[in-house]
């Protein structure tokens, strides 16, 4: 990530954002017939949406990161995120625990406090995935973010995917000012 983004990158995958009225958990759907095994592998964070003040201040400096999703025990997923910050590559990992609904996971990161959720709302597994993350209790209760992952840094259907994500973000209550499409910088996210 670009220099000075510090804590933002925790957001690149899973920090959650303030101020948005979110639907009750029971009202949020996940990808029908979600196939976890097809969701595994490498993804790139291509789009983010948030109306948090700090996000609005930093969104012009944000750049793409790489996430790798692998299977863990008992239906959980390991999520490893790599990004560029200052002059180095930063990597961190989370364990996404299943909730009993395919495509719906919980996670905890002591640095953030509270409990968080990730819900895969839509994916074709081969090109893109759109999901939301949010905090369900603790100091960040009610924080919310929408994300677009792509399998490629330069997706073939880039314009169509961007518009699909923009519509998705609008359906979650975000405005155009709340949405950013991230540029690639190559550092840390290209395979060696």
Run of H or E residues at 105: strand 104-107
Residues of the chain with pLDDT under 50: 1-26, 192
Domain 8-181 has CATH 2.40.128.20: yes
- For residue 73, give every residue at least 6 positions away whose Cβ sits within 8 Å of its Cβ, in sequence order, or none: none
- Report DSSP letters for 7-76, one per residue: THHHHHHT---SS-----GGG----TT--HHHH-EEEEEEEEE---HHHHHHGGG-B--EEEEEE-GGG-
Calpha distance 2→138 (Å, rounded): 29
- pLDDT tens across 50-87, in order? 877 667 888 888 889 999 999 999 999 999 999 887 78
Q: Where are the domains of the chain?
A: 8-181
Q: What is the DSSP letter of 192?
A: -
Compute CA 106 distance to the chain's CA centroid, rounded to the nearest angstrom. 13
Angle at 135 between CA 178 and CA 131, to 5 degrees: 55
Identified catalytic residue from 2, 16, 52, 65: 65
Predicted pLDDT of residue 192: 41
Calpha distance 141→61 (Å, rounded): 26
Q: Is 65 a catalytic residue?
A: yes
């Amino acid at each position: 990530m670009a220099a000075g983004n510090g804590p933002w990158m925790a957001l690149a995958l899973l920090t959650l954002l303030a101020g948005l009225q979110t639907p009750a958990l029971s009202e949020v759907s996940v990808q029908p017939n979600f196939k976890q095994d097809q969701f595994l592998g490498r993804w790139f964070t291509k789009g983010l949406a948030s109306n948090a003040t700090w996000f609005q201040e930093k969104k012009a400096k944000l750049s793409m990161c790489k996430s790798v999703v692998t299977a863990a025990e008992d239906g959980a997923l390991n999520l490893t995120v790599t990004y560029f910050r200052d002059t180095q590559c930063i990597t961190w990992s989370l364990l996404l625990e299943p909730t009993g609904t395919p495509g719906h996971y919980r996670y905890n990161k002591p640095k953030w406090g509270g409990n968080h959720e990730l819900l895969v709302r839509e994916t074709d597994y081969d090109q893109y995935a759109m999901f939301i993350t949010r905090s369900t209790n603790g100091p960040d209760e009610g924080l919310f973010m929408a994300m677009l992952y792509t399998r490629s840094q330069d997706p073939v259907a880039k314009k169509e995917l961007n518009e699909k994500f923009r519509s998705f973000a609008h359906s979650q209550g975000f405005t155009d000012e709340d949405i950013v499409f991230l540029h690639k910088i190559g550092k840390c996210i290209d395979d060696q």
